[in-house]
Amino acid sequence: MIIYHLVVIIITLTSAFASLALKKSTTNGTIISIVTNKNLYIGGLLYVAAAFLNIWILKKLPYSVVVPLGSITYIWTMLIAYFFLKEKIGIGKIIGIFLIIAGVVCITV
């Protein structure tokens, strides 16, 4: 059962990095530059991979567990934004992270 929870964590991490790739694909802002940017396709591929893993894991775990565990994506996204995009993390976001973690613990225990 623990392996399935690890797969959910991998799904959420994959989704967060997909978002980063899509963000990087928009750096120049023109449609041509976006369509020709490899990050657009990397992000799309990561989202598709996460979607297929999500479909598979839904066969193994209850829906009421898998979908709420998807909120872990928000934690990865914030950490990726901090480390890769140099965005600031305020106290409100830190409180939000702890609330997400508390919710995940309540659902999985």
- What CA–CA distances, in Å, run from 26 to 71, 80, 94, 101? 25, 17, 27, 31
Domain range for 48: 2-108
Distance CA 27, CA 73 (A): 22
Please give the model's pTM, rounded to 2 decimal places.
0.91
Distance CA 92, CA 97 (A): 9
pLDDT (tens digit per residue) in 29-82:
789 999 999 999 999 999 999 999 999 999 999 999 999 999 999 999 999 999
Asked if pLDDT for residue 83 goes beyond 90, the answer is: yes
Distance CA 50, CA 62 (A): 17
Q: How many domains does the chain have?
A: 1
Distance CA 64, CA 85 (A): 33
pLDDT (tens digit per residue) in 23-44:
999 988 789 999 999 999 999 9
